[in-house]
Amino acid sequence: MLPNGWVMTVGTDISALKHNEKSLRQAHEAALLASRTDLLTGLPNRRYIMELLDEALAASRQSGSGLCAAIIDIDHFKGINDTYGHDAGDAVLQHFAQACRERLPPGSQLGRIGGEEFLLLLTDVRLDDADRRLDAVRAGFPAAILPDHATRRPVAFSAGLAEALPHDDRSSILYRADRALYAAKAEGRSRTKVGFEGTR
């Protein structure tokens, strides 16, 4: 208040500050997304899909709902790289990721864990249903169009599937899924094998 009785107010335009705050928030969100994403396929990367597995295991223990994990390997992938080159291999990986996104049920999570290997998390399902869902993804899986735009390459995959048990942690469920994947490959590929508790 001024001596003459007038009230003086000072206004400040904070639009620029709010804009900077929004830009910083967007940059942070973009950096977080980039740290969790496999650049080639756009899927969760190894670190993030493992975090999602840990969260899903904890939720499954708490609620008693089903959880299944599958390790998936694209069949004969080395032959694609050796025959057509690494650009073709990258195209197959991108095609595989996109085709799976279109075919997997809502709520499932697929991440790339390295090379041509992927981890699939299926929540609120039991083993038989998870097995059927993988078969449905595999059935009629579309061929990949390679970078020359003339070559169509069939894409098949093997999978090892395990259902979460009450005592499971990341290591134990992945061990069973991995053993089952090796069995699927040994039996001729392009199939799903189930890893049971006794396979450890």
User: Which domains are assigned to the chain?
Assistant: 32-199 (3.30.70.270)
| pLDDT digit string, tens, across residues 65-91 | 899 999 999 999 999 999 999 999 999
Catalytic residue among 21, 55, 116, 163: 116
Q: What is the pLDDT of residues 111-147, one digit of tens each?
A: 999 999 999 999 999 999 999 999 999 999 999 999 9
Residue 193 has pLDDT above 90, yes or no: yes
Q: Could you confirm whether 116 is annotated as catalytic?
A: yes
pLDDT tens for 25-45 read 777 666 766 799 999 999 999
Q: What pLDDT, on a 0 to 100 scale, did the predictor assign at position 1?
A: 64
Percent of the chain with pLDDT over 90: 78
The answer to whether the predicted template modeling score (pTM) of the entire model surpasses 0.75 is yes
- pLDDT score of 200 more than 60: no
| Residue the block writes with tokens 């290591």 | 171
For residue 34, the model assigns a pLDDT of 78
